[in-house]
Amino acid sequence: MRIAILYASVHHKNTEKLVKAISEKYPDITLIDTTKALMISLVGYDLVGIASGIYYGNFHKSIYTFITKNLPERLKVFLMYTCGSDRPSYVENMKQFLAQKNASVVGVFSCKGFDTFGPFKLVGGLCKGHPTEQEIEEAVQFAEKTIEQNMTISI
């Protein structure tokens, strides 16, 4: 089974901590930093993770650009995000965007992430110390469960 995780983790590397922990458990997973990579074919992948911090209420803009150019139709995807405060709209926006590619969202994981955006910087930020070791382990467990539930054999 071929798996890739597209990610954008800009300010405090909250999301990167999650995806790096997952790749330690699953070294065959391809990690793609969408803030650096422009064109990478995802044809032949069975499952793609999309992971990001939340910026202005959405996944990072590089994720949207990368998906538009590179995500094949009808792919299974799972979503992961870190944020200072969680809102259901973060996932709904991405699900609507993925619907244009007829992608199937097979799971969602979120956890707190250290946030110093805008006025939060004045008070030292929100969610200091996040993601915690426990939250990172929960992300790995989520990935493990999602991979097992969507196991297919690549030929």
Specify if 129 maps to a domain.
yes
What is the identity of the amino acid at 146? T
Instruction: Check residue 62 and give its pLDDT.
Output: 96
Please enumerate, as own/partner, the contacts of 33-39 that have beta carbons within 8 Å and a separation of 24 or more.
Answer: 33/7, 33/8, 33/9, 34/6, 34/7, 34/8, 34/60, 34/62, 34/63, 34/65, 34/66, 35/8, 35/10, 35/60, 35/62, 37/66, 38/66, 38/69, 39/69, 39/70
98 closest CA partner among 117, 126, 70: 70
Instruction: Check residue 55 and give its pLDDT.
Output: 84
Specify if 155 maps to a domain.
no
Question: With a threshold of 0.85, does the pTM exceed it?
Answer: yes
Specify if 7 maps to a domain.
yes
Q: How confident is the model at residue 83 (pLDDT cuts 50, 70, 90)?
A: confident
Q: How confident is the model at residue 155 (pLDDT cuts 50, 70, 90)?
A: very low
**Which CATH number is 43's domain given?**
3.40.50.360
Question: Domain total for the chain?
Answer: 1
Q: Which structural domain range is residue 80 located in?
A: 3-149
Q: Residue range 126-134: average pLDDT?
A: 73
Distance CA 142, CA 22 (A): 9
